Structure 1
């Protein structure tokens, strides 16, 4: 088909073919969705084939003639649209499909064939997906459009404007890297939130742990611990979900390291992957115990909080800078040993700003030491989650979760402290 585009007769064949198929799809659309309604339109199959042919002839003779033809036929459609308004029909879908068909000739003559094919395929998909699109729009929260605009603002508008130079010796990161960290973490969190809310709206407990672990294992531990109180007979499954969220935390930190500092990621991939696999194995054991001894219940749907807020993004950027300053001071005055103790303490807070400041800053330390600090912070964060699970959760689930989180927390800290 690509060879056809390089000859004039081949271009004519392509225009007629795609115009004919567009007309067929429009006819099927009317039969499927408007079979009982009288529709004012330009026609369907033959009319759209003639539309493509007319556009081809006019554009071949003179582009200005092509434009004049478009304006003349649009004027005719205005008369038709006037009649539609009297019949209380306001849709301009027919005109839009006709205008796209009229553009096939210049597309095939001036652009690569994939452009015409893409326009045709998108048009067909939009025509045939009316029910699915309306169903999706009904489920979509209007605030999500605003949220998506915020993500575009963070990544496309603000990020390219920021300088790449390090701010000063006490803030050893550039504004670009600070905001890039905000964009990456916000994007990962938002994708996890969207997946959980829209693609798996009636997810089970385990999927809650999986998707929750993508954007915050600590918040997921708290949420599942609270939920375990309402479902005390699901203690094994709740424990498995909490542990899965922590397993995803290891993989998420490894992925972030791969984005910002490949050398650190190479140092981390073995211990992080091993820890994730081990915790997934323990989770699997609890799932099997649930199947053997537990009672099946339907978990009610939770309201998921959107993690992408501009206020949160600015707070994250501020914490990032603060952690960079503290890390620079600690490494300069106390060396690598001080960094280890700092990592141990920071693990009892939100570790993402600290980890990202380590990965993006220019400190007087090695990649191995940064990997060590990341592991220690992750391990102490597990101890914090163990405390949350034990205090907030249902006794049985909270105890199981706390024990295993403490075990993996201590193992992670030991690996970070002695492995490097």
Structure 2
């Protein structure tokens, strides 16, 4: 019969084995990439993981001392690596120390074990993506690099300093929450932007629309309209990218809802999912009817820029205040009117706002869902208007047909 002591021993053995596995994973990557050289490889890194796990399991108070004690021979070995191989890179040394800490996490707690597995996987991917990351950095020009650094510095410095409470001077707004939403939306856009730069010119028109839609569906629409004006025979391909970019707006909204208010997701997934499927089918029909196979590039800028981020923060704050007031004064109809007007400018702001209000219990989830769909419809209609205003007549007609069907589907769900 298995007793508690045996259960505890088995759990400890399992966690130590996890630490060994994490070290082996990182060590194999280091040896395969030949980055470890004579410093550390597939045998040494598992030992680092075991070292951290066993120290944390039996001598937790000694972990800082053990880590310092290990740092001394690692530093000596690193110095020898520099002399022998003329390589001053710190990546392998840093990975070694991190592996010790990940090993310690596995025997710290059950949550620590899960976190160590996740972080270990991320570290391995990061290490193995050296060429991809360097290639991405090489494609970023000096202005973009400077803008990104400024934004990241502002996030790191400003976010912790902002008060995390509702302020009467700001009509009850929580400054830290507002800025956190700015960081979240910008970060979501930057992931897509970074992906587009990594893929580069090899990406096709479908990927152009998808990535462009996640960065900025409006910017992608404008870019496609201008391209169709410059080269009219490309109207079919430009329509396809425009419809795809506009359609991506719906799953992007679902991602935002899932992060801010997961309880609202079951209500929103049906209408936004239906609009996504309809948009994808419409884009497929447009692509099938297109007679050209040209690839088009959307002019998408780095979302890590301070001025647009501040502008979004202001828009989000205003929409949050107006939506809450409109609900108090006019009820659901006031929320819907605010959603439509806000959706003309930005879907993210109204999606985050109504998700937050629903999470706080200020509005029912059904009202929040309907408002988000109305905002998405309004923004979709803006794409149609931009196609007519900046593009050609052919582009306008095709975009109207494709996104018009998507809007009708949204209206049907709103009317239900």
Using the size of structure 2 for normalisation, the TM-score is: 0.69
| Contact 2:340 2:375 (8 Å CA) reproduced | yes
The 5 Å alignment of 1:153-302 reads 154=155, 158=159, 162-165=163-166, 167-168=167-168, 171=171, 173-290=173-290, 294-299=291-296, 301=297
Asked if 1:326 corresponds to 2:322, the answer is: yes
Between the aligned partners of 1:70 and 1:271, the Cα distance in structure 2 is 56
Structure 1 residues 131, 359: CA separation in 2 closer, same or farther (over 3 Å shift)? closer
| Contact 2:216 2:300 (8 Å CA) reproduced | no
Count of matched residue positions in the alignment of Structure 1 and Structure 2? 378
| Contact 1:234 1:295 (8 Å CA) reproduced | yes
Unaligned runs of 5+ in 1: 7-13, 35-40, 53-62
| Contact 2:323 2:334 (8 Å CA) reproduced | no
SS at match of 2:344: coil
Structure 1 residues 204, 367: CA separation in 2 closer, same or farther (over 3 Å shift)? same
Instruction: Pick one of 380, 384, 387 that aligns with 1:386.
Output: 384
Unaligned runs of 5+ in 2: 1-8, 14-19, 49-62, 108-112
Instruction: Pick one of 351, 356, 361 that aligns with 2:352.
Output: 356
Using the size of structure 1 for normalisation, the TM-score is: 0.68
How much does 1:283 deviate? 1.0
| Contact 1:209 1:241 (8 Å CA) reproduced | yes
How much does 1:349 deviate? 1.7
Structure 1 residues 125, 218: CA separation in 2 closer, same or farther (over 3 Å shift)? closer
Deviation by residue 1:294-342 (Cα, 9 ceiling, x = unmatched): 133343x555301122222222121112112222332222222232223
| Contact 1:225 1:392 (8 Å CA) reproduced | yes
How much does 1:385 deviate? 1.2
Deviation by residue 1:204-257 (Cα, 9 ceiling, x = unmatched): 222111111113222211111111223322322222221111211111112212
Deviation by residue 1:345-400 (Cα, 9 ceiling, x = unmatched): 33322232233222223575322112111111111221111110112112212211
Between the aligned partners of 1:170 and 1:69, the Cα distance in structure 2 is 51
SS at match of 1:347: helix
Structure 1 residues 232, 324: CA separation in 2 closer, same or farther (over 3 Å shift)? same
Deviation by residue 1:171-208 (Cα, 9 ceiling, x = unmatched): 45533332232122111111111111223443222211
Between the aligned partners of 2:32 and 2:254, the Cα distance in structure 1 is 52
| Contact 2:162 2:175 (8 Å CA) reproduced | no
CA RMSD, Structure 1 to Structure 2 (Å): 5.2
How much does 1:263 deviate? 3.6
Between the aligned partners of 1:257 and 1:27, the Cα distance in structure 2 is 41
Between the aligned partners of 1:136 and 1:155, the Cα distance in structure 2 is 23
Between the aligned partners of 2:213 and 2:161, the Cα distance in structure 1 is 30
Structure 1 residues 170, 236: CA separation in 2 closer, same or farther (over 3 Å shift)? same
Between the aligned partners of 2:127 and 2:406, the Cα distance in structure 1 is 53
SS at match of 2:259: helix
Between the aligned partners of 1:176 and 1:385, the Cα distance in structure 2 is 32
Structure 1 residues 360, 28: CA separation in 2 closer, same or farther (over 3 Å shift)? closer
Between the aligned partners of 1:119 and 1:409, the Cα distance in structure 2 is 42
Structure 1 residues 128, 280: CA separation in 2 closer, same or farther (over 3 Å shift)? closer
SS at match of 1:244: helix
SS at match of 2:345: coil
Structure with max Cα Rg: 1
Asked if 1:147 corresponds to 2:145, the answer is: no
Q: 2:372 maps to which residue?
A: 374
